[in-house]
Structure 1
Amino acid sequence: MNGIRRIKRYARMKMKGIVQGSKTLLILLMLTKSIHGSALGYVLRPMPEPELEARTCPVKCVCQLEAFNELPIARWVNHMARKHVDDSLLLTTHTKLATCLIQSQNEWQELRDYLPMDLQALILLYTGNVENQLAVNTSSLRRLNQLRTLEIRGIGATLIIDDPLEFLQHANFEQIRLQASDRLQRPKFSKLPSDDYEYKPPSELLPHGEYSTKYPLQFEDAASDIVTYEQHIQRLKQTRMPSFFGWGRLEVLRILSCKLDKLHWQMFDGLTQLRDLNLERNSIEELPPFAFSGALNLKSLSLAHNALSRLHYLGLAGLLQLETLNLADNQLGRLSELSFPPLPKLQTADLRSNPVKYILPGTFWVMNDTRELQMGSDQAALDLRTWFIYGQFDSLNELRTLILGNVSTETLEQGVFKGLYRLEVLKLRGQIHSIQFDVFAGMEQLRELDISQCGVSELSMDAFMGVKRLKFLNLSHNNLTNMPHGLLDDQQRLEEVQLQGNQLKTLPTSFSRLPLVRVIRLDQNPWQCSCQMRYWKPYFTNVVRGPSVKRCVKDINGDPLSCRYEAPYETDKSVVPRCSNYNGRSVYYVLRKQLHCGDIKILQPLSPIRIGTRGLPLPHWRKVELQDQNQQSKKARPRKIAHRPTKQRNTLQFVLRQQNHQPHSDPLVLEMSNEI
């Protein structure tokens, strides 16, 4: 009983704040309940946590329980646009992980037999000398039949594929060599995929001579290099080309910087469950025909940071389920209808850092469901233009985001963005001299337009005609010297306008009439300050948009019901517009202290002509009718001989002179002057 009193006393001390830590209090309460279990009728016991096998973890390894989405392979998959990892695995609280540091071949031979049998994830990090090669055979890992994730990283390590790991789901290999053993079983009597592939681009269907382009692409016959199966096996033995045949449960495969510069259509044969494939930084120069025909259910494919100089549609043939394609940082210089096969489910295409100069007609005719496209490179400027009656982005009817870097055109003319009816975000960089009228015609869904850093010097008055849902307009860091009147008359939903870094001296008053505007950046311009700037207000010129903040509506229990991201606007004195004709002083200081413009005059609507019943306005058509009747009645009256002298106070000059010098107290006279 004394022990029970001490436990209760200690618990009271914790509740008073003397000892902090909710976990200790929970343990004490469970101990108290267990002691009095007979009186209360139940006993609280802590939930058992999953444990690793009783076998001791090897000395060179660290064995722990880790969440799967904290593993390097999972972080890469989460970074992709689409997540295709098994949801049940992502929700698993604990994954049995062993991370091993290996410096020599002997260390691997010593520890491989002591790894726990129930491992779910294994990471091998080779930290030894490059000259001391580490060779890991896949056959040595077959005893770990519960293994789902395998990662091997380190320069100087080699993975020898001699047996398939049919139980593996995720594989990540970085900076190692992949080599196949001579005894590896390869698929026999595999059928060439071209036998069942029927797609041909329109230029190959037409008779010779009917179709020609200004910059045609020439490719060698893809079937000219087809050899017999015995010759193919002999070549594979000579090159030790790896093959993942038999890895039937593999869902994620990442081969990064492994010098896998040659691909073959049988390398991924049988990987029907493969969803994510990454082959970045392997110096791949060309995609052979049907390179991925063994993994036709791919959702994402990354070939970024390689040396691809041309793209033929047979290289990506058959990937009808592909949603994300990353070809960034290659050497592609031209795109045409021969570049892509049908990709009906492609959502995102990344072609950045490719020296693409020409996009010929029909390039994207087989990508009808694409939502995001990015292009542009510092090595070559993209010739943004129209081809006869065709635009460069025809058939991208579902495109939402288009980002083009380093474009080059003298005039951004009508028809360049033909067919982009659902585009919401458009960003351009490069050299554009002028923007003509109706360039963005038909883009009724466009809400963000960024044409900054393009050297634009001329804007048509009707350049943005029809773009009525625009919220963000960025024309900063160009060579604009004036803004046409009525340029933004159609943009009544604009919230932010970026005009900094131009050569503007004046601004039309229509900019002050935007009803929803929050920010108008006007700094870094040589403004010629005058009283015409009286309508400028610091609450929309001296502010910047901050980072997005997540805001949620919560229920009574505090759980979020709906969330959205909002961008707060903050005051920033560094963006104050300044006057070049007043030694760089602030516009608002000059207006207040030096120009003495006074308050802004608010223009009141004209009062209606009051005839008949006093105080009741008349429609315009009725005013015209009454005026005609008065004129006819005056003509019908006999003209009087005696002329009365005209009173000076009824003349127009008198009314205007009186209004300019002193306000009139009579409202009827004021109404008369306004009407005149």
Structure 2
Amino acid sequence: MQLIALIITLLLLAHAKAQLQLDSDAELLPGSDVEADSQPEPIAEQDRSNCPSSCSCQYAAYNELPIARWINHMTSSDNDADSTLEDTDFLMLSKIKLATCLLQDEHETQELFNALPLDLQALILLHGGNAESQLTMNTSSLRGLNQLMTLEIRGNGITTLIIDEPLEFLQHANFEALRLQASDRLKRPKYSKLPSDDYEYKPPRDVAANEVTPKYELQFESDDVVEIMSYEQHVERLKQTRMPSFYGWSRLEVLRIHSCNFNELHWQMFDGLTQLHHLSLERNGIEELQPFAFSGAPHLRSLSLAHNAVARLYYLGLAGLLELETLNLSDNRLERLSESSFPPLPHLLKADLRQNPIMYILPATFWVMNDTRELQLGSELAALELRSWNSYGQFDSLHKLRTLRLGNVSTASLEQGVFKGLHAVEQLTLRGNILSVQFDAFAGMEQLRELDMSHCGITELSMDAFMGAKQLQLLNLSHNNLTHVPNGLLDEQTQLEMVQLQNNQLTTLPTSFFLQPRLRVARLDQNPWQCSCDMSNWKPRMTNTIRLPSVRSCVRDLNGQEILCRHVVGYETDKNLVPRCANHNGRSVYYVLRKQLHCGATRIFGHSKGSSTRGLPHWRKIELQQQQQRQQQKPKQKRKQHKKPRKSHGSQRNSLHFVLSHQKEPQQKQQQQQQHEASLSQEMSNEI
């Protein structure tokens, strides 16, 4: 195994050197396609003489480094164009000097560090091999590389990094599969005051006498108070466990510690990291967040604690992160959320709580997250109960939320009030077990554009289920158990472009279904349709069409700069999506209507332009349609009465008296007259 790992590593190093040679050769080729800048970048050449034999030294753009790709992933926002995350902070256009080295044993490692170029800006250290290949290194060994900005160390699980001196010049650090330990001679800060002394926030249940707002009239459940460790106890524990500290890494902006068994957090670990913006502690087995664990990095913008074992959130664990914008707590063991789970997070834009067995969300949970734009919840391990609490919803106070995704929800009936207060939500996705959707379930969601309720087991829809969601454009009700679509269900949704009803138990549709003015796609396949002439108004250009992902299209000026950009949606025809008749051996609906039922054109009476029936009950809409139909039939009867005199006048010309009065005329004149009469008779018969 050790030999195989060594061979793979050598191949990677050889590939990196070959790529470097190609890059350097391409830069020297005449006529290369290089954009001209106001200040041309000097040609970077490989420094072969100063590069150790077990390393690959090259010039590379910082954007191509693994740590840079992770930063861009953390700061990217797919659904929020107005995000304030500074995505371009880590996109360096100029190339930096990079060395990728393979570590062997401790003696060779120290020699390698001494042989590295002093002007190195990025260093990636790889330690492979089997479980018996142990390696220990100190941070003090890298003190000579004072121009180093990025450091990545990837071990094999038993590789040890001893933090004995701070690397104050480092900006980005990535540690994977390492053992992090602190040296006895590591200098630690000496504080006499705990962070709790200056923290004044109290959760709603701790506010005495309901003194703040009427919302605090709710009865909150009691919870155990977390005990804050004293300073003396903390120092003693640090001596016993040799817990690392990053105190003194003053320029650090990005810190990523993955799979390092970094399972205990304390408030002095990250103390003094005032420049730290992104922190990720995934796959470390963290079970509890100690009070004020991250208060030493008050300017954090993204924090990831995914893939750990956190079973309980207490607001002091995240206290002090007033600038946090992205919080990832996915794949932990949280079972409930309450008003004591989160501290004030006034700038939090995105919260990911997926793959947590959360069953209950108590009222006032999100009262301290008023600026959040995206929220994700749900796990296959436990069903999330959806319900309202008197006049309060589970997501109350999320007034700026735009995207809400809930997985594995459970409710017998989705009622009004569950989504109360979500006035700005544009995308709502539900998965789980929802038997019925009652009236006004989405009332107040005026900005809702995309509603996905597929795979929810829905059997019943109220006629007024979508009342209030007037901006709805995409509706997905596929893969449910619907047997009936109520009349007037989508009367208010005049902006609707796509409806997905495939894989249900539908047999008929209301005749007004295809009257939506902007409808482009209607997925109706995989339903047991009972075909009849009432389906003559179905349109194959809607049912046999799929919607393609949007494509960004831009208008550019003469210099190629983007002036105006927009997302364009495309459509494509797919005949495999055609709906089929269950009562005609699964044949296509359109084939049965044309070849077997021989249905004529079915006339559908729509709403008149002069009047509006929006908001009226369905029975009143039927009455108005019947009255309109009777009014349209009256002018036809009057026109028929005017035609009767013309019919009698034509019949007099064919009478016996008319023929006998012309017997004495010449034979030729009589024949002409008969031809003339025959033509007149034919015209009158056509009119009749």
Q: CA offsets, 1:363-382, max 9 Å, x none?
A: 00000000000000001101
Aligned to 1:293: 295
Aligned-residue offset at 1:215: 8.2
Question: CA 1:86 to 1:96, structure 2 compared with 1: closer, same or farther past 3 Å?
Answer: farther
Q: How far off is 1:559 after superposition?
A: 3.2
Is the contact between residue 104 and residue 128 of structure 1 (CA under 8 Å) also seen in structure 2? Answer: no
In structure 1, what residue type is equivalent to 2:516? L
Q: Give distance in 2, aligned partners of 1:234 and 1:74.
A: 38
Q: Name 1:49's counterpart in structure 2.
A: 43
| Contact residue 360 and residue 392 of structure 1 kept, 8 A | yes
- Within 5 Å, which residues of 2 pair with 1:150-165? 150-155=151-156, 156-165=158-167
Distance 1:88 1:370 in 2: 22
| Higher mean C-alpha displacement, 565-574 vs 495-504 | 565-574
Question: Which residue is equivalent to 2:102?
Answer: 101
TM-score for both structures, normalised by structure 1 = 0.81
Q: Which residue of 2 aligns with 1:613?
A: none
Q: Hey, what does 1:399 align to over in structure 2?
A: 401
Q: Determine the structure 1 residue equivalent to 2:68.
A: 74
Question: In structure 2, how many angstroms separate the alpha carbons of the residues matched to 1:270 and 1:396?
Answer: 33
Pairing of 1:78-477 with structure 2 (within 5 A) = 78-82=72-76, 87=88, 90-155=91-156, 156-206=158-208, 216=221, 218-223=223-228, 225-228=229-232, 231-477=233-479
- Judging changes above 3 Å, is the alpha-carbon distance between structure 1 residues 604 and 211 closer, same or farther for their aligned structure 2 residues? closer
> Shift in Å at residue 202 of structure 1?
1.6
Q: 1:85 to 1:500 in 2, by over 3 A?
A: closer
Offset of residue 54 of structure 1: 7.3
Q: Which residue of 1 aligns with 2:597?
A: 595
Write the distance in 2 (CA, Å) between the matches of 1:54 and 1:22: 17
Change (3 A) 1:157 1:441: same
Stretch moving more, 261-270 or 507-516: 507-516
Aligned counterparts of 1:88 and 1:484: Cα–Cα separation in 2: 52
Distance in 2, Cα, partners of 1:392 & 1:602: 43
Give the deviation of 1:316 after TM superposition: 0.2
SS at match of 2:124: strand
Greater Cα offset, 90-99 or 491-500? 90-99
> Residues of 1 paired with 2:160 and 2:168: CA distance?
20
Q: CA shift at 1:104, angstroms?
A: 2.1
C-alpha deviations, 1:521-558, integer Å up to 9, x for none? 00010000001111111111011112332211222344
Change (3 A) 1:459 1:302: same
Let me know the Cα RMSD of the aligned residues.
2.7
Q: Tell me, in whole angstroms, the C-alpha distance in 1 between the residues paired with 2:346 and 2:415.
A: 30
Look up the equivalent residue of 1:548 and give its one-letter code: S
Native 8 Å contact 1:408 1:431 kept in 2: yes
2:448·2:469 contact (CA, 8 Å) conserved in 1? yes
Q: State the distance in 1 between where 2:98 and 2:27 align.
A: 29
**Helix, strand or coil at the partner of 2:140:** helix
State the partner residue of 1:16: none
- Looking at structure 1, the residues matched to 530 and 107 of structure 2 have their Cα atoms a distance apart, in angstroms, of 78
Contact 2:254 2:277 in 1 (8 A): yes
Aligned to 1:60: 54
Give, in whole Å, the separation in 2 of the partners of 1:211 and 1:591.
Answer: 62
Distance 2:456 2:65 in 1: 42
Partner of 2:528: 526
**Is the alpha carbon distance of 1:47 and 1:121 closer, same or farther for their aligned partners in structure 2, counting shifts above 3 Å?**
closer
Report the secondary structure of 1:80's partner residue. Answer: helix
Deviations 1:452-480 (A, max 9, x none): 11111111111111211110000001111
Report the counterpart of residue 618 of structure 1 in structure 2: none
Whole-Å separation in 2 of the counterparts to 1:59 and 1:202: 62
Contact 1:53/1:118 (8 A) holds in 2: no
Normalised by the size of structure 2, how large is the TM-score? Answer: 0.79
Per the TM alignment, residue 226 of structure 1 is displaced from its structure 2 partner at its CA by 2.1
- Gapped runs of 5+ residues in structure 1? 1-20, 28-45, 609-646, 652-664, 671-676
Counterparts of 2:407 and 2:320, CA distance in 1: 30
1:221 positional shift: 3.6
Give the Å deviation of 1:84.
Answer: 6.6
Question: CA separation in 2, counterparts of 1:252 and 1:312?
Answer: 25
Please tell me whether the aligned partners of residues 303 and 328 of structure 1 are also in contact (alpha carbons under 8 angstroms): yes
- CA apart distance, 1:232: 2.9
| Letter in structure 2 aligned against 1:573 | K
Q: Does the residue aligned with 2:70 lie in a helix, a strand or coil?
A: helix
Matched positions, count: 574
Taking structure 1 as reference, are residues 595 and 215 closer, same or farther at Cα in structure 2, changes over 3 Å only?
farther
Pick one of 569, 576, 579 that aligns with 2:578. Answer: 576
Q: What are the superposed Cα offsets for residues 41-94 of structure 1, whole Å, 9 maximum, x if unpaired? A: xxxxx9741346675200000000010011010010000135978957523320
Query: 1:473 is matched by which residue type in structure 2?
Result: L
After TM superposition, give the deviation of residue 25 of structure 1 in Å: 4.8
Letter in 2 for 1:145: N
Q: 1: distance between equivalents of 2:126 and 2:606?
A: 78
Distance in 2 separating the partners of 1:514 and 1:386: 33
Could you tell me how far apart the structure 2 residues matched to 1:198 and 1:458 are?
49
For residue 426 of structure 1, what is the amino acid of its counterpart? L
Whether contact under 8 Å (1:52, 1:118) holds in the other structure is no
Report the 3-state secondary structure (helix = DSSP H, G, I; strand = E; otherwise coil) of the residue aligned with 1:136: strand
CA-CA distance at 1:650 after TM superposition: 6.2
Quickly say closer, same or farther: Cα 1:93–1:211, change in 2 above 3 A.
closer
Question: 2: distance between equivalents of 1:85 and 1:393?
Answer: 28
Distance 1:66 1:24 in 2: 18
User: Residue 88 and residue 332 in structure 1: after superposition, are their counterparts in 2 closer, same or farther (change >3 A)?
Assistant: closer
CA distance in 1: counterparts of 2:607 and 2:509, whole angstroms: 24
Q: Which runs of 5+ in 2 are unaligned?
A: 1-25, 33-39, 77-83, 611-637, 643-682
Shift of 1:219: 2.1
Q: Could you report, residue by residue, the CA deviation over 1:181-240 in whole angstroms, capped at 9, with x for unpaired residues?
A: 0100000125200000000012112369x98988835224423x3252xx4333212211
CA shift in 2, pair 1:89/1:22, >3 Å: closer
Q: Could you tell me which residue of structure 1 aligns to residue 633 of structure 2?
A: none
Gap change, CA 1:442 and 1:136, over 3 Å in 2: same
Q: Which residue of 2 is the match for residue 625 of structure 1?
A: none
Deviation digits for residues 290-339 of structure 1 (CA, Å, limit 9, x no counterpart) = 00010010000000000000000000001000000000000000100000
CA distance in 1, matches of 2:41, 2:406: 55
